[in-house]
Structure 1
């Protein structure tokens, strides 16, 4: 099937598989003892966490007349949203064209193609904006080549955020109380989408953002990033900066070590975003005795068997998991110092507006 071919009306019964994921109590040492936190296991849903956003973005575009029945959907992805769009495309009857890059794992390439996606790969990062900019450049070429194609623009699309209302509703029903929510940040969609509804439920709820070292989202300088799934080299407008009480930058050694500890001791685990968020959630539970802490595990471990869980990969990239930081370094504001490992800041910034 070509990207411009018209699919049937879709398979809406697939939407019954969206979300409805369990929460589990995590008490594994990460890396030290802590009272425990709740983890929402989004990796157990069809299409993963970002299927919620993908379905929301396509339905919103159809309602506004921006996406015609059977028209192709074109998007840039580092992998996770791609799976969600593959799910949404099948459910709603749209062929999906994704732009990845040369660092996209072979297993993810195979998975996306198995789900019927046409996959294009950027071969080299752009001088400004890295892989994301390179992917977006190829995406714009595809939009010109494919008549009627729709670009969801996940980084700046409010429907991305709106798609996580169901996640907030599920957390509100599954937990009796919540004091601290820890969210990894990439497009900014899921943190922005859940915090509003949950604060209406629990007004004093604190939100901790988890970014990657080398990411520009919260005002740090852009650097080459090993981790995929969180962080950005652009400034997504879906990020609800005013909603965050603090931000942590986590490095690949800390995230990788946490993923492996989770897999060994809790069975449930995931990739870079899961490891980074879990590290911070365990810390938050430890330093806030009596607080109820929760986080979201965006996906499972399968995509990362050749990276996070591979000793040869760790050695090739100089990752010393045994030397991972056990607590964050405190910095007074995002421009005070470059976070090269786990760092924490209680002054949150929108880089386009300055420090508040």
Structure 2
């Protein structure tokens, strides 16, 4: 399924809109009371959080001659990067084609088309790699038959990581001290892109990763995932595993509960990634009450009105009572059935002890 659009005219004045998003103090109860943490509200910026890496990737490709003026840009996305690339394509004058899947919300389809992107759909996941692998396979087909097209490759492009340097700078411009940074992990770009610059100024910074149950990024096998925007069915090259001090896996029931509590108690909220990082940030603030805890809310709630904020949807998917505390596992390759924490982060390509092959539920 495709939609024809007109080629955009370059409008570099849009680039001045990127960044300078608000920093909010979050104090509402999330799995219990906590002393509060800071959240960068990237969803309030034009193009959302992914506008930063999208612009950086296209500008970098232009400078190296990999992307010629007016040439098409093709990428795979579950939605959020698509908004960022739509923004970058308009700013720099490139038509954007996005390979998406039929799980993409109708509201997001309409929004992406309104922003001028062409959508190419895949209608079934692959047996290994799920929707993500299916989208990438279709993307390669499109690249083969589209001369001059550029693939940013959000999963491994170092320009994506570099694009978040401005976010790190904005945080240090507002906060004199940051002790714990909590980041959702999908492609790995924003955790690496924020933590790297911050640690050059704050070498004692602790980095806590937040993944989705069913994700394979840190070692467990890939399983079907309800949540979009965090987690992965592949292992992106931009994930710097040695940078993390610990990782948490969060389930959809916990993310939904956190999102709704944020909306009703702190007004600012978002989708799956926002709920997941908020839950873990509140936990970090509660367990380290003297620490300055900071996280990033990638987007707002509008995209998720038919999922996270819909009682019929949550009931249909069996999202019942959330767990209130993480189960701790000794090794990251152990499968997590609910909110789980591991203080050991290793390269999943290294063989794990046979005794760690259990499944943890809770």
After TM superposition, the score normalised by the length of structure 2 is: 0.95
Structure 2 counterpart SS, 1:349: coil
Q: Show CA shifts across 1:22-46 (max 9, x none).
A: 1111000002100000000000000
Question: CA shift at 1:289, angstroms?
Answer: 1.7
- What does residue 88 of structure 1 align with? 88
Query: 1:352: Cα distance to partner?
Result: 2.2
Residues 193 and 110 of structure 1: CA distance in aligned 2, closer, same or farther (over 3 Å): same
Deviation at 1:127, TM superposition (A): 1.2
CA contact (8 A) 1:348 1:355 kept: no
CA drift of 1:19 comes to 1.1
Partner of 1:326: 324
Question: What is aligned with 1:291?
Answer: 291
- Are 1:350 and 2:318 matched, yes or no? no
Residue number in structure 2 paired with 1:182: 182
The 5 Å alignment of 1:179-218 reads 179-218=179-218
**Equivalent position of 2:23 in the other structure:** 23
Q: Deviations over 1:45-93 (max 9, x none)?
A: 0000000000000001111111000000000000000000000000000
1:76-225 paired onto structure 2 within 5 Å = 76-225=76-225
The number of residues matched between the two structures is 352
Task: Note the C-alpha offset of 1:139.
Answer: 0.6
Please list the CA deviations of residues 88-126 of structure 1 after superposition, one character each: whole Å capped at 9, or x if unmatched. Answer: 000000000000001000000000000000001100001
SS at match of 1:142: helix
**Contact map agreement 2:179 2:206 (CA 8 A) in 1:** yes
Is 1:35 the counterpart of 2:35? The answer is: yes
Output the CA distance in 2 between the equivalents of 1:104 and 1:4: 20
* Structure 1 residue 3 displacement after superposition: 7.2
- The change in CA–CA distance for 1:251 and 1:78 in structure 2 (over 3 A counts) is same
- Hey, what's the Cα distance between the residues in 2 that align with 1:216 and 1:191? 17
CA–CA separation in structure 1 for the residues paired with 2:59 and 2:284? 37
1:5-16 equivalences in 2 (<5 Å): 7-8=8-9, 10-16=10-16
Note the C-alpha offset of 1:354.
5.2
Asked if structure 1 preserves the Cα contact closer than 8 Å seen for 2:189 and 2:239, the reply is yes
- In structure 2, distance between residues paired with 1:306 and 1:145: 36
Q: Identify if the C-alpha distance between structure 1 residues 89 and 80 changes in structure 2 by more than 3 Å, giving closer, same or farther.
A: same
Q: 1:4 to 1:46 in 2, by over 3 A?
A: closer
Specify the SS of the correspondent of 1:170.
helix
Q: 1:178 & 1:7 partners in 2: Cα distance?
A: 41
| Matched residue, 1:254 | 254
Q: Deviations over 1:294-334 (max 9, x none)?
A: 100000000000000000000111111xx101110000001
- Hey, what's the Cα distance between the residues in 2 that align with 1:4 and 1:206? 45
Q: Secondary structure at the match of 1:97?
A: strand
The 3 A distance-change label for structure 1 pair 218 and 63 is same
How far does residue 338 in structure 1 lie from its aligned partner after superposition?
Answer: 1.5
Distance 2:242 2:5 in 1: 41
Which secondary structure does the structure 2 equivalent of 1:215 belong to?
coil
Q: Which one of 319, 334, 341 corresponds to residue 338 of structure 2?
A: 341
- In structure 2, what is the equivalent of residue 233 of structure 1? 233
Q: Deviations over 1:253-284 (max 9, x none)?
A: 00010000000000000000000000000000
